[in-house]
Amino acid sequence: MTSLFLARSLYLSRLTHSLLSQVPIANRSIFIYFQLCNMDDLADCREVFAYFDSKGDERISVQQVGDVLRALGQNPTEAEIHRCVGSFDKEARLSFEDFVPIFQSVSKNREKHTVEEFVEGLSHFDKEGNGMINVAELRHLLTTLGERLSDEDVDQLLAGHNDSHGNVNISDFVRAVMNS
């Protein structure tokens, strides 16, 4: 099973590289975005982008980038927006191809913040302040709060994460769950 997965991944990687080399440089960000999202996501992104195109030139102003990102469900800080559009003139109008890498950057930062937020949330249950949480307490949290997990699901999540003292490293656990 693993070798089949690796062979398939290698094939897809080579196919992507082959296709990418045939795409004009100006359109590569769109092509890469296709790789990361499904067609519905891309269509939604383009639709929202077009909604903010007030001049009908298939572009948005630099000042609208934050609004477009927020309309797409992102929540960037003003500092993130300034960092992303800093290389553009303040009066510039961005094409969809210019916007896609900005959207990707903000989306990646959102994922990073999510990991940090989960670690921070679970850290409130770290009684000794050592970055660890008791397995029994974590199991209780996962089966009783929010979207409750079954015991079987919790067993799968916790497999291999507890130490000899019955504790789980919060940061490692959150990263493993978020990356699975």
Which is more confident, 25 or 45?
45
* Domain boundaries, given as residue ranges, for the chain: 22-109, 124-179
Query: Tokens representing 173?
Result: 């656990």
> Is the per-residue pLDDT at 29 higher than 50?
no
Which CATH number is 22-109's, of 3.30.360.10, 1.10.238.10, 1.10.10.60, 3.30.310.50?
Answer: 1.10.238.10
pLDDT in tens, 7-22: 454 444 444 444 444 4
Supply the CATH classification number for the domain 124-179.
1.10.238.10
| CATH topology agreement for domains 22-109 and 124-179 | yes
Residue 146 clears pLDDT 90, i.e. is over it: no
The pLDDT, as a whole number, for residue 14 is 47
| Mean pLDDT estimate for the chain | 79
Find all residues with CB under 8 Å of 69, minimum gap 6, and list them.
76, 81, 102, 103, 106
pLDDT tens string 113-144: 577 878 888 888 898 999 999 999 999 988 88
